[in-house]
Homo-oligomer: A and B are copies of this chain.
Amino acid sequence: FGAALPTAEETTYDIAGSSRLPPLRVLGQIHKTFIVCEGPDGLYLVDQHTAHERVLLERFQKARASQGVPSQRLLAPLTLELTPQQMALVEQQQEALLRLGFEVEPFGGLMVLLRALPTLLKQHPDPAAALAEILDGAIADRSGLSWEERLVMYAACRGAVKAGDGLTHDEMRDLMRQLEETDLSRTCAHGRPTVVRLSHAQLEREFGRR
Contacts of A17 in B (CB 8 A): 3-5
Asked whether B41 lies within 8 Å of A36 as measured between CB atoms, the reply is: no
Partner of A30, one of B2, B19, B43, B196: B43
A28 part of interface (Cβ distance < 8 Å): yes
Given contacts A27-B36, A38-B30, A206-B196, contact A12 B8 (CB under 8 A): yes
Q: Mark A4-23, 1 if CB is under 8 A from B, else 0.
A: 11111111111111110010
Q: Is A200 an interface residue (CB 8 A)?
A: yes
List residues of chain B with CB within 8 A of the CB of A184.
4-5
Query: Chain A: how many interface residues by the 8 Å CB criterion?
Result: 55
Min CB–CB distance A170 → chain B (angstroms): 15
What is the minimal beta-carbon distance from A177 to any residue of chain B, in angstroms?
18
Stoichiometry (number of copies): 2
A37 to chain B, nearest CB (A): 9
Q: Closest Cβ of chain B: how far from A186's Cβ, in Å?
A: 13
Answer yes or no: A202 CB below 8 A from chain B CBs. Answer: yes
> Which of A121-129, A131-139, A187-195 lies at the interface with chain B?
A187-195
Q: Is the beta-carbon distance between B27 and A4 smaller than 8 angstroms? A: no
Interface status of A102 (Cβ within 8 A of chain B) = no
CA of A45 to CA of B2 in the docked complex: distance in angstroms? 15
Residue of B nearest to A34 (CB): B203
Q: Which of B1, B11, B31, B208 contacts A22 (CB 8 A)?
A: B1
User: Least Cβ distance of A98 to chain B in Å?
Assistant: 34
User: Per-residue 0/1 for A41-60: is the Cβ within 8 Å of any B Cβ (1 yes, 0 no)?
Assistant: 11101010010000000000
Task: Check A4 against B18 for contact (C-beta < 8 Å).
Answer: yes
Q: What is the bound-complex CA distance between A27 and B38, given in angstroms?
A: 11
Residues of B within 8 Å of A45, CB to CB, are 43, 203, 206-207
Residue in contact with A207 in the complex, picked from B18, B41, B50, CB distance below 8 Å: B50
| CB of A142 within 8 Å of the partner chain | no
Q: For the complex, give the distance between the alpha carbons of A98 and B158 in Å.
A: 67
